[in-house]
Amino acid sequence: MAARCFRLRLGAAQLIQQAGLKYFMTIKIGWSQYNRLPYDTFLWQGIDGTQILTHFITVPDQGAFASTYNAMADAREALGTWKNFQQKELHKDLLMAYGFGDGGGGPTREMLENIEVMKDFPALPQVRQSSTTAFFESIAPQTTSRMMPIWNGELYLEYHRARILRRRATNASTARVNSFCTILSSSLRSHPFTPITNTRRGNSTKPGTRFALTSSTTSFPARALVPSMKSRNSNMQN
């Protein structure tokens, strides 16, 4: 299971197990701006004592303090993944998610060639194609080790926070627009209609679809405080 949420409450470990899953991987919580979690591999313990084997990817993001799930599969990232890993005494296998994920595209020929070269390249970690399941199965035997830490608490990201809480009106209107976008998206799927051509702009996009595309995005709450978007937000809710 992989997550893009910014805060994972203590009860989530129990829900993961009840869903039939055994492992949990994320990079998001590793982006904390001030207090980094002291472990990259650990057993996350829930309220009822449920323990889920958890791993944070440590691939360095170029030009940022955080890790990335869009690795270019080059030598800098391979070495940086090992350097960033905080528990080298626990296990030697690490995970790298490579390819263009945001926006699609996947891996490139160059990335695949890099991985082939780094199989046995001097002074670099050995890199090979594998799967997330195979990775977790390789480190699962370490769960019985005394060196395997247990994290008993929520996983909180010290980042992406306090975006829309400064102004009550903005917060409320954003919630209403997001709710409307959800209803609109469902309606567009259920009741398709004929596109209306905008002759002035030469744009044949469906008006309803155009509204949904500009409003219902993951970054909409963060953009709500930008003056132009704040004005647009107020107009939309009306």
Q: Domain spanning 7-156: which superfamily?
A: Glycoside hydrolase 38, N terminal domain (3.20.110.10)
pLDDT at 164: 45
pLDDT at 153: 86
DSSP class of 61: P
pLDDT at 169: 55
pLDDT at 66: 81
Parse the chain into domains and list their residue ranges: 7-156, 168-237
Distance CA 236, CA 222 (A): 16
In order along its 238 residues, the chain shows pLDDT tens digits of 444 456 788 889 999 999 999 999 998 887 888 888 899 999 999 989 999 999 999 999 887 678 999 999 999 999 999 999 999 999 999 999 999 987 778 999 999 999 999 999 999 999 999 999 999 999 999 999 999 999 998 888 887 664 444 455 556 666 777 677 677 767 766 665 554 444 444 555 455 555 455 544 444 444 444 455 555 555 555 5
pLDDT at 228: 52
pLDDT at 196: 44
pLDDT at 167: 54
28-51 in b/e form (b: 16+ CB < 10 A) is bbbbbeeeebebbbbbbbbeeebb
The answer to whether residues 93 and 135 touch, using CB atoms and an 8 Å cutoff, is yes
